[in-house]
Copies of this chain bind each other. A is one copy, B any other.
Amino acid sequence: MVSVQEIANLANVSQSTVSKVLNNYPDVSEKTRKKVLEIAKQLGYVPNASAISLVKKKSSIIGVIYEVTSGFGNLFFSAILESFRSNAENNGYTIILLSQNEEKKKEYWMHCVSHNIESVFIISTKDQSVIETELKNHGIATLTLDPLYASSSPISTDNFEAMLLSLHYLYDLGHRAIGFIQGSLHSYVGKERLNAYLHFVKEKNLPSLFIPHIDNALYSLQQGYDTTSTLLNQFDHLDAIACCSDVLAMGAIYCLQDRGYHVPNDISIMGFDDLRISEITRPRLSTIRQDSITIGKIACETLLSMNSSNQSVPPILIKASLVVRNSTKKKESSIISTLYEFQ
């Protein structure tokens, strides 16, 4: 490993001069700068991150807690991680995957302290409120994606607006009897989506077609199926159903098909997330796309701007977008459909 010392020797200057060149200090003559740079390049100099971290008391490492229970959501989370990583990289930061060591009882914050890490991005399907607090207590800034709790610095899709987008789209298609399949009732994210539905039906003066007490915490196929079944039993008529996830929507479609309905001819179905599966279902799923690229980017920028004295930021909400595929359809008014029948 080539050191600053070696470069200094060959260039006939001192270590500090080399250091200044390498760190782009202005107080070095052009001539010296060139010479040093050339020799450094020739020798294939690579700075020693440990030494720098040691002396600067600050590393160029961002911690990431990535604990995602295996599931479809993974694809969304890993897309965000990738976007986050690439942004961190472009800012000269490296990503370390944080974890707890059960055996050695090493906590997350210890890893951070040990590696001089100042900020941590939390991507988790579990409640990490304790860890978040612990990290903050140790002077480490955190940002939490889709927190399940009232995080002091959360980032997520603007779920309220996103669900409204879904509902307005169905409304504009002419649907008025719009059912709703909620996700988790205990997560912030899930509550926001439900609130949007409640707000919407009130505003538009529509019937509220959903089953209040059901908690689809798993966002699973079966939960989608069962909730749809209940919905169908409870309410006479449904034009459309807005679901809180793509997988729930698939469950809804299966249930409707089993009961002899055609999607989208009889009922329109909206998903949420735009996972890859929404491309391979039959019919392909109209849904709401969460913008993983932007979330990763903003998360990174925010975290880099935070520091131990400025550890919290107001909640960050990222805009989602509508993706129209084949599970939704304009409602044909009865008059028109009657006309058609006569043709």
Contacts and interface: CB of A to CB of B under 8 A. Distances in A.
A99 B85 CA distance: 8
A49 B114 contact: yes
A226 interface: no
A265 interface: no
A50 interface: yes
B92 A94 contact: no
Given A89-B101, A92-B104, A247-B280, A59 B50 contact: yes
Interface stretch (A25-33, A72-80, A143-151, A299-307): A72-80
B97 A95 contact: yes
A254 interface: yes
Range of interface residues on A (Cβ < 8 Å) = 35 or more
Contact of A46 (B49, B64, B101, B110): B110
B48 A54 contact: yes
Contact of A89 (B79, B99, B221): B99
Interface string A215-240: 00000010000000000000000000
A68 B86 CA distance: 13
A256 interface: no
A330 interface: no
A46 to B, nearest CB: 5
Nearest to A99: B89
Interface in A28-53: 46-51, 53
A125 to B, nearest CB: 12
A260 B337 CA distance: 29
A113 B71 contact: no
Contacts of A99: 85-86, 89
Given A97-B95, A254-B282, A277-B280, A115 B75 contact: no
A211 interface: no
A179 to B, nearest CB: 21
Contact of A96 (B70, B95, B221, B276): B95
B78 A74 contact: yes
A92 B104 CA distance: 8
A343 interface: no
Interface of A: 1, 46-51, 53-54, 59, 61, 64, 68, 70-72, 74-75, 78-79, 82, 85-86, 89-90, 92, 94-97, 99-104, 110-111, 113-116, 221, 247, 250, 254, 276-277, 279-280, 282
8 contacts: A46-B110, A48-B54, A85-B99, A89-B100, A90-B101, A92-B101, A94-B115, A97-B97
Identify the 6 closest CB pairs spanning chains A and B, nearest first: A50-B53, A95-B97, A50-B50, A50-B54, A49-B114, A46-B113
